[in-house]
Amino acid sequence: MVNEIKVDISIIIVSWNVRNLLGRCLQSVKKSVAEARRHGHNIAVEIIVIDNASNDGSAKFVKAEFPKVRLIANNCNLGFAKANNQATETSRGRYLLLLNPDTEIIGNSLCEMFSFMEDQPAVSAIGPKLINADGSLQRSCRRFPTVWSAAMILLKLHNLFPMSWSLRRYYMWSFKHETIRQVDQLMGACILTRQEAVKNEGLFDERFFLWFEEVDFCKRLARGGGLVLFYPYATVVHHRSSGFNQLRQKALWRQWQFSKSCRLYFHKHHSYAAALFIDFVSVISLLPAAYLQLFFTLGWRGVQKRDL
């Protein structure tokens, strides 16, 4: 009988129409694994890419350029949560690294995160320091949303009152992202968690198509007694473009998906009264999005007419 190959980390990347960024991400993973081995850490890694029906040739690109990567090519866009779960079901690693395709792991960061988790068995999940392409800090830790912070964000009031007490607390403006700290939630661009924690709590609730799936995951970990930490000694570049930039002209669709996820989160984790209030606010939040969608649609038709 052939023994199953031991895998330390299953790296899961859900991708949609970001072929070039995905290529840079996969190259950075290869370099980080090589860097770990150079430091004497022979980390066994499997990489699983889930392509959510991209139309930019991403699946063919991965097959041709990264033949050792396990590719799951979906026929339709299953969303972020369901695609991650799809890969998790077949993953073999003791740890899962949930990684966005618009990220690049810097230096020996993969080994740093792995070694820290090995030394801290009580920790359920960690997130590295995220930086922008220019090297500036990207704030990646937040508290769990309250009714007021969620309502302000739904109504886009965070753009007008960014320094209100509710938002300053939610965005953790006072935290400098320089020390290890227990946090409520981590940005889903890069999270290292234990397979054991996922088996106990489940990974993502598939009712979340986009947004709030990592918030819900961190909330469930915390309720189960797990520790979620920010870990600044590993660094990952996050380009923050991914597939979202392709949805800029779908303002109403974006707002609907965000408000839908927000409502689901509050119905799961808050009182009935709080959930009803968020339901009411989310309906109001669709009105400016509908106006913006109309503006984009009429503007696009105007451009087409001029081109004719």
What is the overall mean pLDDT for the chain? 90
The structure tokens listed for 308 are: 């004719």
- 58 three-state secondary structure: helix
pLDDT of residue 307: 44
**53, amino acid identity:** A
pLDDT of residue 265: 97
Q: Is 304 a residue whose pLDDT tops 70?
A: no
CB-based contacts of 185, cutoff 8 Å, min separation 6: 141, 142, 143, 144, 214, 215, 218, 219, 228
Q: pLDDT (tens digit, 9 = 90+) per residue, 107-150?
A: 999 999 999 999 999 999 999 999 999 999 999 999 999 999 99
pTM of this prediction?
A: 0.89
The structure tokens listed for 20 are: 């070039």
pLDDT of residue 81: 93
Q: What would the mean pLDDT of 55-63 be, rounded to a whole number?
A: 95
Q: What is the CA radius of gyration of the chain?
A: 20
Place of tokens 């503006």: 295
pLDDT of residue 243: 53
Place 87 in a pLDDT band, splitting at 50, 70 and 90: very high
pLDDT of residue 4: 60
pLDDT of residue 221: 95
Q: pLDDT (tens digit, 9 = 90+) per residue, 205-235?
A: 999 988 999 999 999 999 999 999 999 999 9
Q: pLDDT over 90 for what percent of the chain?
A: 77
The sign one gets for the Cα dihedral 58, 59, 65, 71 is positive
Q: pLDDT (tens digit, 9 = 90+) per residue, 228-271?
A: 999 999 999 999 865 555 545 577 888 889 999 999 999 999 99
Which domains does the chain show, CATH number per domain?
9-140+177-247 (3.90.550.10), 251-307 (no CATH)
Residue 2 backbone dihedrals phi, psi, to 5 degrees = -85, 125
Contact criterion met (CB below 8 Å) for 21 and 61: no
